[in-house]
C-alpha cells in the first residue's frame, strides 16, 4: 500500500501550487477480487480496506465510484466503510432490493468557477442484497440533467469493454470516461467521440488530466491522440523513403505518401485549431517519490495489525512451509 | 522610441492573444486495492 503515501505526496505538491483540481477514483478501491475467503483472508482484507479509508480521508477524494470488487465483503461491510469515510460514494445503477439508490448517482462539484459533474456506473454483476441495473439505461436517465448542471462531465465506469463499446454507440454528453476493471494503461483516450482512459489494474499509477480551455462549453480535444497520429505518419513517411528502391511502382508510392502526409496535416490542424485541450500525464507511484509521512504512518499502522494476524518470516529464515505461520503464497 | 514601440506591440498582442488561459486538473486512480496483496 506504499502507493497511497506516494499518491498523497503528489497531491500535496498540487495543493501547494493550486486549488483548481479534483480527485476522483473510478472503482475497485477496497478489494482486489470480488469475493474473499472467510477466516484470516477476510480479517486481512478488512485491515487493508480500513487503511485505505483512513488514507483517503486524509488525502481527500471528490467522488468515488463503487466497483464490483468493492462489494467483496457484502453490502453491510461496504456501508460500514462508507460510514467511516469522509469522501462521497457514488453509483447511478446500484440499488437495494427495494429499488432505491444505495448511493448518490452523481456528484456536482463547484470549485474555482468550474462545475464538474461526476457520474458513477458499474457493469452488471450479481451480489446478495443489491440489484445492479443496466449501466447504459441508467446513464440515459440522468446524463442530460447532470450535463445541464455542469461545465464538464466525467463518467467513472467500472466497466467491461463490452459496455464501453455500448457507451460509444450512443452519443452521450459526457466529456471523458475513466474506466476501472481494466488491465490497460491508456496513453491516450482513443479515437472515439468521448475519450476513455484506463489507469491499469494494479493501482500503481495516478493519472493527471490537465484541461485547458478558452470556452468550457465547447468540446475538449485529447491532443495525445493526434500527437500519436503525427508520430505514426512521420514513421510511415520515413519508411516509405527507405523502401524507395523496392520494385513497387512510383505511382503507388506517391499515393501512399500523399495519404500519410494528408493524415499528418489533418492531425496537426486538429491540435492547432483545438479550442479546448486535454493533456494527460501518467504518474508512476514508484520509489523515487518521497512518501507523505502522515499517510505512511496510517499504512504502517495497518501493516502492523496485519503482521500481528499473519506474522512475516524474519530475515534470514527460510520461507515457512504451507500452513505454517508467515507462509506467503507465490504470485 | 523603438523600445516603446516594442512594448506597445507586446502589450497589444498580449491583450488580444487567443492563448488558452483557463485550466483545471483532474487526478484519477482506479483499482487501488490491486496494489495490496492480502495473503491467504
What integer pLDDT is reported at residue A83 of this predicted model?
A: 97
CA dist A257 and A260 (Å) reads 5
Q: For residue A251, is it within any domain? A: yes
**CB neighbour list of residue A280: distance below 8 Å, 6 or more residues apart:** A186, A187, A188, A189, A197, A207, A208, A209, A210, A222, A224
Task: Provide the pLDDT for residue A202.
Answer: 76
- Please tell me the distance from the alpha carbon of residue A264 to that of residue A258, in angstroms, as a whole number: 10
Inside any domain, residue A302? no
Q: How far apart are CA A203 and CA A24, in angstroms?
A: 13
Interface contact A329-B30, CB threshold 8 A:
no
DSSP A319: P
Three-state DSSP state, A219: coil
Whole-angstrom CA distances from A172 to A63, A148, A190, A328, B26 are: 20, 13, 16, 47, 20
Residues A189 and A255 in one domain: no
Residues A53 and A143 occupy one common structural domain: yes
Q: What is the pLDDT at residue A236? A: 93
The whole-angstrom distance between residue A310's C-alpha and the CA centroid of its chain comes to 31
A24 belongs to a structural domain = yes
Contacts of A207 in chain B (CB under 8 A): 27-29
Which DSSP category does A124 fall into?
Answer: -
Q: Choose the weakest-confidence range: A114-118, A256-260, B32-36.
A: B32-36
Question: Does residue A23 belong to the interface with chain B, where contact is any CB pair within 8 Å?
Answer: yes
Nearest CB among B23, B35, B39 relative to A213 is that of B23
Q: Quick one: A164 and A245 in the same domain?
A: no
Q: How far apart are CA A281 and CA A270, in angstroms?
A: 20
Q: How much is the average pLDDT of A24-49?
A: 94
- Quick count: other Cβ atoms within 10 Å of Cβ A182? 22
Helix (H) or strand (E) holding A225: helix A223-242
Verify that A180 and A243 share a domain, yes or no.
no
Distance CA A115, CA A147 (A): 10
pLDDT higher than 70, residue A91 = yes
A86 and A38 housed in the same domain: yes
pLDDT digits (tens, 9 = 90+) for A191-250: 899 999 998 877 788 999 999 999 998 999 999 999 999 999 999 999 887 766 666 677
**Whether residue A157 sits in one domain with residue A260:** no
Touching check for A150 and chain B: CB below 8 Å? no
Say whether both A107 and A251 belong to one domain.
no
| pLDDT for residue A303 | 93
Mean pLDDT for all residues in chain B: 67
- Residue, of A15 and B38, whose pLDDT is higher: A15
| Of residues A63, A2, A1, the one with CA closest to residue A30 | A1
**How many whole angstroms separate alpha carbon A265 and alpha carbon A35?**
51
Q: Does B21 touch chain A (CB under 8 A)?
A: yes
Provide the pLDDT for residue B36: 47
CA distance B26 to chain A (A): 5
Residues A131, A87 share a domain: yes
Mutation to test the A interface, candidates B24, B30, B35, most A Cβ within 10 Å: B30
* Chain A: closest CA distance from residue B23 (Å): 4
Cell triple for A71: 462489494
Q: What is the 3-state secondary structure (H, E, C) of A187-201?
A: CCCCCCCCCEEEECC
**Owning domain of residue A258:** 223-272
pLDDT digits (tens, 9 = 90+) for A59-83: 999 999 999 999 999 999 999 999 9
Strand, helix or coil at A157?
strand
CA distance A77 to B5: 70
Across the interface, of B27, B28, B38, the residue whose CB is closest to A48 is B38
* Residue A316, in any domain of the structure: no
3-class DSSP assignment, residue A186: coil
Q: Does B3 touch chain A (CB under 8 A)?
A: no
Indicate if A257 and A154 belong to the same structural domain.
Answer: no
For residue A62, the Cα-to-chain-centroid distance in whole angstroms is 14
A-chain residues near B26 (CB < 8 A):
21-24, 116, 154, 176, 208-209, 211
CB–CB contacts below 8 A, A to B: 151
Q: Which SS3 state, helix, strand or coil, does residue A283 take?
A: strand
Give the minimum alpha-carbon distance from A288 to chain B in angstroms, rounded to a whole number.
Answer: 17
Mean pLDDT, chain A, as a whole number? 91
- On whether residue A34 sits in a domain, the answer given is yes
- Domain shared by A167 and A196, yes or no: yes
Same domain as A287, residue A228? no
Name chain B contacts of A212, Cβ cutoff 8 Å: 20, 22-23
pLDDT-based confidence at residue B38 (cuts at 50, 70, 90): very low
Give the number of domains in chain A: 2
A228 is a domain residue: yes
Q: How many CB atoms lie within 10 A of CB A172?
A: 20
Give the Cα separation of B39 and B32 in Å (integer).
17
Residue A311 belongs to some domain of the structure:
no
Q: Which residue of B has its CA nearest to A151?
A: B24
Above pLDDT 90, what percent of chain A?
78
Cβ–Cβ contact A120 with B under 8 A: no
State how far the alpha carbon of A246 is from the alpha carbons of A241, A294, A328, B34, in Å.
10, 64, 58, 50
Residue A268 inside a domain? The answer is yes
Task: Please indicate whether, in this complex, the C-beta atoms of A21 and B27 are within 8 angstroms of each other.
Answer: yes
Q: Taking the CB of residue B4, how many other CB atoms lie within 10 A of it?
A: 8
Mean pLDDT, residues B15-24 taken together? 66
Q: Are residues A168 and A260 in the same domain?
A: no
Report chain B residues whose CB lies below 8 A from the CB of A10.
27
What is the CATH number for A48? 3.60.21.10
Amino acid at each position: 500500500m506504499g502507493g497511497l503515501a506516494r499518491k498523497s505526496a503528489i497531491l500535496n505538491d498540487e495543493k501547494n501550487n493550486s486549488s483548481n483540481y479534483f480527485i476522483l477514483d473510478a472503482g475497485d478501491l477496497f478489494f482486489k477480487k470480488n469475493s474473499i475467503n472467510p477466516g484470516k483472508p477476510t480479517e486481512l482484507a478488512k485491515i487493508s480496506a480500513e487503511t485505505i479509508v483512513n488514507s483517503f480521508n486524509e488525502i481527500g477524494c471528490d467522488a468515488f465510484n463503487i466497483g464490483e470488487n468493492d462489494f467483496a465483503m457484502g453490502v453491510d461491510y461496504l456501508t460500514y466503510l462508507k460510514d467511516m469515510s469522509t469522501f462521497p460514494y457514488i453509483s447511478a445503477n446500484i440499488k437495494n432490493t427495494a429499488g432505491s439508490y444505495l448511493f448518490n448517482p452523481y456528484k456536482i462539484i463547484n470549485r474555482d468557477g468550474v462545475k464538474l459533474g461526476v457520474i458513477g456506473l458499474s457493469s452488471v454483476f450479481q451480489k446478495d442484497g443489491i440489484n445492479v441495473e443496466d449501466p447504459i439505461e441508467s446513464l440515459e436517465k440522468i446524463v442530460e440533467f447532470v450535463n445541464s448542471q455542469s461545465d464538464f462531465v466525467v463518467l467513472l465506469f467500472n466497466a467491461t469493454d463490452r459496455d464501453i463499446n455500448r457507451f460509444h454507440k450512443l452519443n452521450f454528453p459526457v466529456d471523458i470516461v475513466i474506466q476501472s476493471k481494466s488491465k490497460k494503461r491508456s496513453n491516450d483516450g482513443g479515437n472515439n467521440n468521448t475519450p476513455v482512459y484506463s489507469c491499469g489494474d494494479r493501482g500503481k499509477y495516478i493519472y493527471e488530466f490537465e484541461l485547458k480551455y478558452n470556452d468550457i462549453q465547447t468540446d475538449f480535444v485529447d491532443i495525445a491522440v493526434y500527437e500519436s497520429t503525427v508520430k505514426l505518419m512521420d514513421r510511415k513517411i520515413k519508411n516509405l523513403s527507405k523502401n524507395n528502391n523496392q520494385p513497387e511502382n512510383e505511382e503507388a508510392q506517391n499515393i501512399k505518401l500523399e495519404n500519410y502526409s494528408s493524415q499528418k496535416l489533418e492531425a496537426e490542424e486538429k491540435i492547432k485549431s483545438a479550442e479546448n485541450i486535454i493533456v494527460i500525464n501518467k504518474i508512476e507511484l514508484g520509489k523515487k517519490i518521497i512518501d507523505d509521512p502522515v499517510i505512511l504512518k496510517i499504512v504502517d499502522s495497518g501493516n502492523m495489525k496485519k503482521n500481528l494476524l499473519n506474522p512475516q518470516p524474519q530475515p534470514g529464515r527460510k520461507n515457512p512451509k504451507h500452513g505454517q505461520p508467515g507462509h506467503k503464497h507465490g504470485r | 522610441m523603438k523600445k516603446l514601440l516594442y512594448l506597445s506591440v507586446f502589450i497589444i498582442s498580449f491583450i488580444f492573444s487567443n492563448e488558452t488561459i483557463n485550466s483545471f486538473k483532474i487526478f484519477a486512480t482506479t483499482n487501488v486495492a490491486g496494489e495490496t496483496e492480502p495473503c491467504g
